[in-house]
Amino acid sequence: MTTKAVADTQTAAKLFRGFADPTRLAILRALAGGELRVTDLIAIVGGSQANVSGHVACLKECGLVMDRHEGRSVFYRIATPEVVDVLRSAEELLALTGDKIDLCPNYTAPRRRRQRS
């Protein structure tokens, strides 16, 4: 594998890690329906303002989301139609393989250890 191919694979893995976070994925799915403010996203995906804002900032820094200021409000939207294409392709793939993916022991999230006080 060439150095460029390795770099491209690593960048692609970073992209899919962004999609792998449940909150970021929920935000992207919500934004696929159109522009929303952070307060709107909180109502849809749940979580705190700080948490949702942090995830939106991450998505914006990675170029997946853009913002638009209107007065004191900031509206967020999907940056390019290709992001929605990825979401739709993933939904189609899940329709075919979702049961197997759901049952796959390789994709279970590691349990976090509780910190002792």
- pLDDT reported for residue 2: 78
47 located within any domain: yes
60 found inside a domain: yes
| 106 within domain boundaries | no
The pTM of this model reads 0.82
Q: What angle do CA 96, 97, 101 make, to 5 degrees?
A: 160
Instruction: With respect to residue 95, please indicate whether it lies within any of the assigned structural domains.
Output: no
Token pair for 84: 């929605």
Give the C-alpha distances (Å, rounded to integers) separating 27 from 15, 43, 115: 15, 11, 29
Q: What is the CATH number of the domain that holds 47?
A: 1.10.10.10
pLDDT band of residue 115 (cuts 50, 70, 90) is low
Q: How far apart are alpha carbons 102 and 92 in whole angstroms?
A: 15
Does a structural domain hold residue 103?
no
pLDDT at residue 4, as a whole number: 74
54 is in which domain, residue-wise?
3-80
In a domain, 29, yes or no: yes
- 56-108: per-residue pLDDT in tens? 999 999 999 999 999 999 999 999 999 999 999 999 998 898 788 888 888 77
Per-residue pLDDT, 78: 98
Total domains present in the chain: 1
